[in-house]
Amino acid sequence: MFFKKGKWYVSFAITFDLQNDVSEERKKAIGVDRGLKYIAVAGDKETGNYIHFSGKQIGHIRRKFSRLRRQLQKARNVKALKRLENKEHRIIQYWNHVISKEIIRFAQEQGASVIKIEDLKHIRSMKKHWKRSDRNVNSWAFFDLEAKITYKAQLAELEVQKVNPFKTSQECSNCGKAVKKNRRGSLYKCSCGYKKNADVNASFVIGTRPCKKEKTTTAA
């Protein structure tokens, strides 16, 4: 209580605990698998629903720009090469914008509060089969898509979590067994009888994996 300008005032503080109504384990999540044949596949294992985005158009663009790059490199036209690189990045950014927007919409339609993606910090070592000239482009494109998903998820009040990418393409989303030979090209076929498109199966696996915990270091 205090007196100010001829009047008495009473002030008091109220404290209360905020409780999360939904535990971490009970939050509904969708998984997003990123790749080459399909740029991204977003899947909800609970409902079996999924959306996918073909990489054919991006692949065509990448091959076209690759041919142009080789021509400009032979001609040693550095300025034109830089303009070409910027144009390629703008095109990929546009498609990543479209794809990320649709993934957020899909998550909302499924009633999910979490979007799970693979932690691709070591993407270059994971994709040794890629052509050397494609690695930087694909790495950049994957991380650009990740950044756009994260940004749009925040605007939509959704959470983005990273999971361990180990054997997501080999694990069965039905029984949990991870066998390399179960993935045969675009088909995933498990001994438990489960059959699914391999990238869709991977998105289901990603969506059910626990969030990857970040390692913390302390100074000595």
**CB–CB of 145/34 below 8 Å?**
yes
The per-residue pLDDT for 178 is 95
Cα gap 184→168, rounded to integer Å: 14
State the average pLDDT over residues 174-187: 94
Amino acid identity at 205: V
Of 22-36, 42-56, 57-71, 107-121, the one with minimum mean pLDDT is 57-71
Asked if residue 162 has pLDDT above 80, the reply is yes
Asked if residue 194 has pLDDT above 80, the reply is yes
Please, how many CA atoms are within 13 Å of residue 32, restricted to the half-sphere of its CB? 27
Asked if residue 132 has pLDDT above 70, the reply is no
pTM reported for the whole predicted model: 0.76
E strand or H helix that includes residue 101: helix 78-109
Cα gap 161→31, rounded to integer Å: 10
Q: What is the pLDDT of residues 85-112, one digit of tens each?
A: 888 888 889 999 999 999 999 999 999 9
